[in-house]
Structure 1
Amino acid sequence: MTAAAQSKPRARYAAKRDAIMAAATEVFAQQGMSGFTLAAVAKRMDLHPVSLTYYFKRKEDLAAAVLHDTIGRFAAMLDQAEARSAPADRLTTFVAAYFETRRRIALGEEGPLAPFSEVYLIEGDQKQPVIDAFEALYVRIGRLLKSEDTPWVATLRRQGLARLVVNLLTWSDSWLPAYAPDDYGRVAARLADILVNGLAAQGRAWPGLPLVDLGGPVAENDEVTRDRFLVAATKLINREGYRGASVDKISAELKVTKGSFYHHNSDKDELAVACFQRTFDLIERARREAGKAGSGWERLWLAVVSLGMHQAEGGGGRILRHHALAAVPTAMRRRMLLRFQQIGNSFAGIISDGIADGSIRPVDPLLAAYTSMVVFNACLPLEPKKTPPSTEGVIEEYLRPCLLGFFVK
């Protein structure tokens, strides 16, 4: 058989495998790990499930392939960034490379990227290699910020900011479709500018105002209340995704029966909606109380830092992470995204007011609002044996550079 004849079957195999990967990525994004099956992928492609086993024997193999593909594409973006010498240029190049990839995806020139929201939920012998490859991305993103000229941007800060960057880029799934692909380059440039240079106008100090009280610790007694169900469900959804947080697991978290669950809640969907509403209420309370401060910069600072510290301390129950929307039923997801959009518009209003009064430097208000929302949403938790080890660490090594610029001293 000639080389040309041999190449045709290989090309057909590669094309079919690519089509399976693209369909699998869409299923993974919409249904999460718990709803990801070979049958679901085959149904999307109008194929019999058995035909997929020629390419992938198990669903875990296909899920791992999808995640490794996306991790590899992120690694290629980092290759571009690491070719630059200055940390700010490296970060800007990485953000630009990500949105260029998204532009090509929007135009049909590349396949979709898999979400990272449930990367830790993959099972079997594929689990650890996927997690190791994913965590290596965080290390590389953190190293983009490293320089002998800025020794104060140490490991602790780089770890938190790398987390922010990944969350910010992946959260763009919820708002990027509102932009035309031709605008993605501008979006990348404006976001990178916010990360590098912060939001405060030149000469504006770190306010240091008393933070908004968003609720004390949840009572740890034997009484089972609706509030405790909300806190427990939020914790599980943050950790295991919407589909992974089953009625059984939520009940087990509180050490109660399923009967007790249904005594306090209609069903899981109703409880999940209530968890989102609780999150929206906490954000609105912080924004409303922060509205009493002076300048736009002070109002933005007070809302973001109060919510960030609430998320870090977790005493009154953390808010839902943005990735909680992954695998949420379509109708519910649409309603929740609309509410997040409304919140983003509210924060954009604060930022616009700050630009007008001179306390916030000229930035794209809506992109700055999305960034601010991810700042508090992705705030690192204060937990035993975790870092940062103190309130001061969260503020100084995460919230401060998020708002004043990654490289602020």
Structure 2
Amino acid sequence: MTVAIEPKVRARYAAKRDAIMAAATTVFADQGLSGFTLAAVAKRMDLHPVSLTYYFKRKEDLAAAVLYETIDRYGEMLSLAEAGATPPERLRTLVTAYFETRARVALGQEIPLAPFNEIALIEGEQHAPLMEAFHTIYIRIAQLLKSEEMPWMTRLKRQALARLVVNALTWSDSWIGGYAPEDYPRVAARMAEIMLDGLGRSWPQLELLPLGTPSAENDEVTRDRFLVAATKLINKEGYRGASVDKISAELKVTKGSFYHHNTDKDDLAAACFGRSFDLIDQARRQATSAPTGWERLWLAVASLSMHQAAGDGGRMLRHYALSAVPPSMRKQQIVRFQQIAHAFAGVISDGVADGSIRAVDPLLAAHYVMVVYNVALPMDRALAGDTTGLIEDYVKPALGGFFSQ
């Protein structure tokens, strides 16, 4: 009797666990780690929270399980890509596999992919093995891009581009809802072409734009210094990790000083986004003096990439900070991101019209270039302050085609 019943019990257990994972992934994506609790998942499933503890004892265990599941699915996509004969073929296969997965998610055939935005904030015994599994994705993508026939594809360049690939794909969370699932194959093909072939038809020789305002050299605590400090901490530790205490400590001031200059942390985070958008607008405005669409695009994106890497005067908020901010604020910021995407799409359309930019999908290319400058690695960590290295090892392949020499 026991032998006959056991498979049914296992099947019911697996089905309930899958339902929990689906609900948990949705909660994780919608509310970020700060809003991710067993109670929130149980509420979504119309269950009592205690019933979830049979499957997951703590919220950290469930959050880690959600992220491991998504990492495993990336692993399956990478396995498909690794079968390709050449780096371009492997990259195209990965992008195609990703959007095929997104199509199945949109059609309700698979659970959503969990965002990686706050993976580093998972605490306790889960942290180290989870981060190791996550970094394996970057390592395997960098290997996809390696070929003995392309000695110019250095390890540093492949690592930077692997980071770009992951972020360009995951940033689609913010815009993929504007497409029907049957259009995803075209989206994948156009996105892969942008990565492989680049945008411009020649490489501009222009001086980069000076962006932002110089930091004050005195000890006066200003609103701008709070913005710079908060942006730095949110990029490093996420919205939840960047507490009022930590922001105040970064500036060596009291919490009283914090609340003298800021209403609360939400108000400060909104202002950080506003400051980041102002930097992007500044770059776009200053780049309008360039004669062609490609030069205007290159000048804005390369200058923003350098600003983000160098950090002079404060970096921009990383786009993945969106997932952790309160939902009402997130909606407002996504609207602003979409406006910026359409502005860049206009520049790209102008470049296609004047012949300086390849015939690409302007809006998809706009979303891509926004990721290019946003996720530029800090030079103090990756390039040791090497301006030429940043352009040659990151900006040039990102905008001119991954495998361009």
Following superposition, the deviation at residue 36 of structure 1 comes to 2.0
Following superposition, the deviation at residue 4 of structure 1 comes to 4.6
Following superposition, the deviation at residue 388 of structure 1 comes to 5.7
1:396 aligns with 2:386: no
Aligned residues: 405
Could you say what secondary structure the match of 2:324 adopts?
Answer: coil
1:108 aligns with 2:95: no
2:352 is matched with which residue: 350, 355, 363? 355
Q: CA RMSD in A?
A: 1.3
1:256 aligns with 2:253: yes
Say whether the 8 Å CA contact 1:388–1:394 is kept in structure 2: no
Say whether the 8 Å CA contact 2:229–2:251 is kept in structure 1: yes
Deviations 1:289-336 (A, max 9, x none): 101111111000000000000000001100011101002222211111
CA distance in 2, matches of 1:219, 1:69: 47
Amino acid at match of 1:81: A
Say whether the 8 Å CA contact 1:241–1:326 is kept in structure 2: no
Partner of 2:54: 54
TM-score w.r.t. structure 2 length? 0.98
Say whether the 8 Å CA contact 1:32–1:243 is kept in structure 2: no
Amino acid at match of 2:175: W
Which one is further off, 170-179 or 14-23?
14-23
Partner of 2:80: 80
Following superposition, the deviation at residue 274 of structure 1 comes to 0.8
Following superposition, the deviation at residue 31 of structure 1 comes to 2.3
Could you say what secondary structure the match of 2:382 adopts?
Answer: coil
1:406 is matched with which residue: 394, 402, 405? 402
Partner of 2:315: 318
1:167 aligns with 2:167: yes
Partner of 1:16: 16
Following superposition, the deviation at residue 389 of structure 1 comes to 4.8
Partner of 1:240: 237
Partner of 1:289: 286
Could you say what secondary structure the match of 1:326 adopts?
Answer: helix
CA distance in 1, matches of 2:120, 2:328: 26
Moved over 3 A (4+): 385-389
1:89 aligns with 2:85: no
Say whether the 8 Å CA contact 2:345–2:366 is kept in structure 1: yes
1:305 aligns with 2:307: no
Following superposition, the deviation at residue 34 of structure 1 comes to 2.8
Following superposition, the deviation at residue 3 of structure 1 comes to 4.8
1:194 aligns with 2:194: yes
Following superposition, the deviation at residue 217 of structure 1 comes to 4.4
Deviations 1:42-82 (A, max 9, x none): 12222111111110111111111111000000000000000
Amino acid at match of 2:403: F
1:230 aligns with 2:227: yes
Deviations 1:327-380 (A, max 9, x none): 222221111111111100010000100011000010000011111110000111
Which one is further off, 27-36 or 289-298?
27-36
Q: What are the ranges of 5 or more consecutive residues in structure 2 without an aligned counterpart?
A: none
Say whether the 8 Å CA contact 1:39–1:49 is kept in structure 2: yes
Say whether the 8 Å CA contact 2:31–2:327 is kept in structure 1: no
CA distance in 2, matches of 1:178, 1:189: 17
Following superposition, the deviation at residue 248 of structure 1 comes to 1.8
Which one is further off, 327-336 or 272-281?
327-336
Which one is further off, 278-287 or 216-225?
216-225
Deviations 1:17-44 (A, max 9, x none): 1111111112222222233221221122
2:269 is matched with which residue: 234, 247, 272? 272
Which one is further off, 219-228 or 251-260?
219-228
CA distance in 2, matches of 1:277, 1:75: 36
Partner of 1:68: 68
Which one is further off, 39-48 or 92-101?
39-48
Partner of 1:7: 7
1:358-377 matches, cutoff 5 A: 358-377=355-374
Deviations 1:84-124 (A, max 9, x none): 11100100000000000000000000001111001111001
Following superposition, the deviation at residue 243 of structure 1 comes to 2.6
Partner of 1:336: 333
Partner of 2:377: 380
Partner of 2:139: 139
CA distance in 1, matches of 2:44, 2:163: 33
Deviations 1:225-275 (A, max 9, x none): 000000111111112222332222211221211111110011111111111
CA distance in 2, matches of 1:217, 1:73: 44
Deviations 1:143-175 (A, max 9, x none): 111111111011010000000001101100000
CA distance in 2, matches of 1:47, 1:220: 56
1:22-41 matches, cutoff 5 A: 22-41=22-41
Following superposition, the deviation at residue 176 of structure 1 comes to 0.3
Say whether the 8 Å CA contact 1:217–1:317 is kept in structure 2: no
CA distance in 2, matches of 1:200, 1:68: 38
Following superposition, the deviation at residue 386 of structure 1 comes to 3.4
Which one is further off, 217-226 or 283-292?
217-226
CA distance in 1, matches of 2:24, 2:241: 18
Say whether the 8 Å CA contact 1:35–1:243 is kept in structure 2: no
Q: What are the ranges of 5 or more consecutive residues in structure 1 without an aligned counterpart?
A: none
CA distance in 1, matches of 2:15, 2:217: 56
CA distance in 2, matches of 1:168, 1:299: 21
Which one is further off, 330-339 or 70-79?
330-339
